[in-house]
A and B are shown apart, each in its own frame.
Chain A
Amino acid sequence: MARITAGIACSHVPAIGVAMDQHITEQPYWQPVFKGFEFSRKWNEDNKPDVVFLVYNDHCTAFDASVIPTFALGCAAEFTPADEGWGPRPVPVVKGHQKLASHIAQSVILDEFDLTIMNEMEVDHGLTVPLSVMYGDKTPEDDWGVQVIPLAVNVVQYPAPTANRCYNLGRAIRRAIDSYPEDLNVHIYGTGGMSHQLQAGRAGLINADWDKAFMDKLVNAPEEARKITHLEFLRETGSEGIEMVMWLVMRGALDETVTEVHRHYHVPASNTAVGHLILENHA
């Protein structure tokens, strides 16, 4: 049977991708950001999954203002890194897992989560930066070494799905993966965050105390984390901090009790607080 063995939370700041692509990760500004990922890469090597289920948000790349699906599941054979205005990132094409993706789509839709199915989709830094963080430097000729099922969540146009809805969708994804007959090791990623505001007069907002409390809650009291309102995310963590609802999808797919094997928090990467967790499932 397929099983989810771990959940990974990770910010997706585009500048992290740029720093890797330009090989400047040893510069004093970036060194503390990447130091916190050293353990993660080693851990990932030792716990290699077959499939990553990657919850992320598209930044008006696959979806411009004309189409805004709340949840869109990538069911394609592959996903090409997109040109986001300065040329595509020099990273490998992302390979999907079509059979598992279709199985998840069918299972969660019958479980009353009405997903959009994407049979063609380009992916942006929201998806490729967390992969780069966990899998290290890759060129377009390389292979990521894992199959990926993307789930794009709308966090651009208000309202994003609620924290509670995301948590419940995570539980439905867990039921879907648990019922897949093939023996597969699956990791689930919740990406984006942490506190950041990219726009207008309050740009640059960071709320480290809130971020840290959120990580504690997410790990040990998810029943509390799922109650956080949109207003609280917007006010306390900045207009783009609402991305953290995606961490709830990841948490919902894990056991009630998990083991936190790694945590990393650093301010800043560009305009954003970087947060990262690795949580192991017991089942």
Chain B
Amino acid sequence: MTEKDYDDIPGTFVFDADRSREGYWLNQFCISLGKEVNRQAFRDDPEAHMAKFKMTEDQKQAVRDRAWNRLLELGGNIYYTSKLGAFDGIVFQDLAAMMSGMSRDDYRKMMVDGGRPIEGNRSKSEWEKK
């Protein structure tokens, strides 16, 4: 695979065609939860509902574990995986806190104080220095 210019951005999964291919069934599973009939099916029997989608075992395990960053690593896209979060009753901001490894209150305070600064967060090399 050729190197991508955006691979240098730290803490970011750019949802491109490679990720879209890998995550296709995971994402289709997640988006199914946008409909109440599917939310009910997933509540009634999580494994049976997951089995309707051709996910890999790793993807299924990441769903079971609610491993939010792992889901992205396996081709999930945040607009899709957030439906799984919504299913669990997690508000978007708390999901963002979990993905960035912060407590809910620390994340909320960071946002109110102006958000995560761009300084030091442009390039992977800046993260490696930390």
Residue numbers of A with Cβ under 8 A of B are: 14-15, 29, 59-61, 64-66, 82-86, 156-159, 195, 197-210, 230-231, 234-236, 238-240, 267-268, 270-271, 273
Contacts and interface: CB of A to CB of B under 8 A. Distances in A.
Given A65-B80, A231-B5, A239-B14, A204 B111 contact: yes
A235 B6 contact: yes
27 contacts: A15-B93, A60-B27, A60-B34, A60-B79, A60-B80, A64-B31, A65-B27, A65-B77, A83-B34, A85-B34, A85-B82, A156-B15, A197-B116, A198-B82, A198-B96, A200-B11, A201-B69, A202-B12, A203-B100, A203-B116, A204-B96, A206-B117, A208-B115, A235-B122, A235-B123, A238-B12, A270-B93
Contact of B116 (A14, A158, A202, A209): A202
Contacts of A231: 5-6
B13 A200 contact: yes
A271 to B, nearest CB: 5
A271 B13 contact: no
Given A200-B69, A201-B11, A202-B12, A14 B36 contact: no
Interface string B1-31: 0000110011111111100100110011001
A200 B100 contact: yes
B27 A64 contact: yes
A268 B115 CA distance: 7
Given A64-B27, A65-B28, A197-B12, A86 B118 contact: no
Contacts of A83: 34-36
B56 interface: no
B92 to A, nearest CB: 6
B125 interface: no
Interface centre among A60, A84, A230, A240 (most CB of B within 10 A): A60
B111 to A, nearest CB: 4
B115 A198 contact: no
Interface centre among B36, B72, B116 (most CB of A within 10 A): B116
Contact of B100 (A82, A204, A207): A204
Interface in B90-127: 92-93, 96-97, 99-101, 107, 110-112, 114-118, 121-123
Given A60-B31, A156-B79, A202 B10 contact: yes
A85 B93 contact: no
A157 B12 contact: no
Contacts, number: 148
A206 B115 contact: yes
B86 A64 contact: no
A153 B74 CA distance: 25
A199 B87 contact: no
A209 B117 CA distance: 10
Contacts of B122: 235-236
B63 interface: no
Contacts of B35: 83
Nearest to A240: B78
B104 to A, nearest CB: 12
A251 B31 CA distance: 33
Contact of A271 (B5, B14, B111, B118): B111
A28 B128 CA distance: 38
Contacts of B99: 199-201, 203
A204 B16 CA distance: 21
Contacts of A203: 11, 96-97, 99-100, 107, 116
B9 A85 contact: no
Contacts of A197: 12, 116
Interface in B21-78: 23-24, 27-28, 31, 33-36, 69, 72, 77-78
